[in-house]
Chain A
Amino acid sequence: MTATPTTLPHSLIRSRTDARRALVDRFFRGLCLVAAVVGIVPLFAVIGFVVVNGAGGLNLDLLTKAPKASGVGGGAVASILGSLQLVSVATVIAVPIGVLAAVYTSEFGGRRSAAIIRFSADVMVGIPSILIGVFVFTFLVLPFHQFNAFAGSAALAFLMVPVVMRTTEEIIRLIPNSLREASLALGVPAWRTILSIVLRTGLGGILTGIMLAVARAAGETAPLLFTALGSRLVNVGSFDKPMDALPMFVFINARQPISALNEQAWGAALLLLLFVLTINILVRIRTFSGRRPR
């Protein structure tokens, strides 16, 4: 604004408000930037401290030794193998249910029923994971008077189903109808069209969703507390005995007033973090510039 007050008094007033408006604009834009920076500080703080404190605890002993029956020492083999079994079994249960449910809502179901099922899955994601543990406890632990690995897997599967279902659905939606029509026109039955055309085409995306669900399940502690319970014994292969998992190892050792055990907790946390972040970063690189995968 270069107008002089004598010729255009109006513009002077405007330029003063304009200056103020520009200042407000700048201030709040700056504030937004600050907020965004503050928002990512915890991420780096957590990762940084886990790497620094965990580097000492993440040693060969932790990876190769079973925990001692009592006291300090040993490693996290029972927890690592336990996590592997719990999450693998959960994946085997959750993937078919999640994928089939997605096939139903996007290929078969009517508008209304599909909407209800989708909504249920969304609400399911919002249930606190500890309550999933309580829920599974009431029908897979209480009747048998025994905490068991299968109950732990069932609880993790419960968490994975909606994630697998919703990601699969989003992928299936992106597959052009012409592919389905071409297959059906060739006389291929609907079930084969879905299996070998629709799901085959979307396989990469579906695997991405499964990986995210696995990463989530691998980090969960709360649903395992009263299902798999945790154990110092290496019970891999059994379904009816208590079983440990890596997140529970972190939780239990962090609460002991013994620094050697705390150090093991940091080491195990680093291991867990490496696993979860690797999956998430790989998934993101794969789907970079595309739509968000979840």
Chain B
Amino acid sequence: MKNLKWKVVFVLIVLLGALYVVLTKRINLGLDLKGGTHLVLQIETQKALESETSAALREIKRRLEEENIPVVSARRKGTTIEIELLSPEYTEKAVSLIKDEYSQMFSIKTEGKKILLSMKPSYKAKEIDRLAEQALETIRNRIDQLGVAEPVIVRNGKDRIIVELPGVKNPERAKKVIGKVANLEFKEVIGTARTPDELITKLGGTLPPGETVSVEPSPEGPKFFLIKNGKREEIKVKSLEELVEKFGGRVPEDQQILYQEIKNKEGKTVGYVFYILKREPILTGAYLKDAYPSQDENGMPAVSFVLKEEGARIFRDYTKTHIGTRLAIVLDNKVQSAPVIRSEIGARGQISGQFTYQEARDLAIVLRAGALPAPVKIIEETTVGPSLGKESVEKGIKAGVAGIIIVMLFMAVYYKTAGVIADLALLMNVVLLWAMMILLGATLTLPGIAGFILTVGMAVDANVIIFERIKEELRKGRNLFSAVEAGFARAWGTILDANITTLIAAAVLFQFGTGPIKGFAVTLSLGILSSMFTAVFVTKVLLDLIVKFKPQIFRI
């Protein structure tokens, strides 16, 4: 008797607590319900690792040359390097030289006069982790600058980042700002060319008489065509260096070719200018202190920047000794502009390059936030407009309310008094589940709403099992009190087993799912837990109360 009193108090406290939470706090809505953009970014770490290998290769070659070790060939393939020396007698010296600097990065194998370097998996793993952390930090900075309220930016697996932007109005712009590498470099200009032919001849190549190379713009960059006897044939090359080499030209190891896009008034690319540049940059975006949108001398949108102290010193020293030469401002391997240095330049400079106002503003944002350590690719996007989210919520509520009413009516008609008790427990289950989701900070998604509603249908299961047992016991001729006791005792094991197996399925679902599906798994699992409490414990308390005080109204 006393026991029952405490149980009633306990149930009331839980109910009031849950009601308090439900009435005072709001549940987190998923992006599919409140509207917004969900992005999954893949960091292209392989590219970063490959360019790191390329840099190592250049450095190793320089070193070997310095030590007068004759190299026949040195090539990179993915993240491995193959070096062939003139003869095996140099191998030992070359290996010890490479080991000094690169024993952390590469494992070294030799085979006569050949040396094979392959990037160590441990180094790769560490590097990928570093790249991902840095990319995460950079993207966080950029999104902060975009002014999105309550963004979520988290790592997913080893080389992915999930970005959630609630209520973003212009997802295309956000995608651009997030995805831009923004690698800013200042490089010394060695030569320029207006046409591919000029570029090839400048680098020592020759074109057969009567043949010319023409260039056409495309969204992927310049496309080259060989024109011979009035016929056009596309030349497929991966880089401008490859094009030059095809015609017998050679680009020195410490130089590279990049292009600048020439745009018309509508901002469409109509042509290119080619630049032969020193590969090693004078300065990079890492030395930037600030960047902001501005206007150039013609009143066109531009981006002004301020260098950090060290960068300003390097810049001043360089420009002082290079007056009259051209300096290329390179962004993501595209030349933006290449002004002639007219006087010593200090901490301040400007990038102009046929930007629109919006582009200049966004460029300032990404430059301020810093460059991404590797290119990122958006591999998944879900954008839900606010109107659809609202409609989903409305539909969900409609389906939920209809479902609850039908189940409650059915239970009350079929199980009479006991059914009404089950209905009360069901209502409490709804409140409790809602409160649990709020307290755990779970996110309600559209499938989550479905899970919620489904739980309502399944929650009465425990009651059905118990009531059927009680009926059976009553049929066997037991009195009401002992039938209720036996019914509960016998049903408990069944309920436990049945629910645990369902929980197993829900747990797998949680592991497997992303975003909305995870929301479903969470609601389903919590629903099973809370329904075990309400359908078993709360129902028992209510039944006990009736059996004790008003057994005459009990019908089942």
Genuine A/B complex = no
Q: Hey, which bits of chain B sit against chain A, CB under 8 A?
A: none
Q: Hey, which bits of chain A sit against chain B, CB under 8 A?
A: none
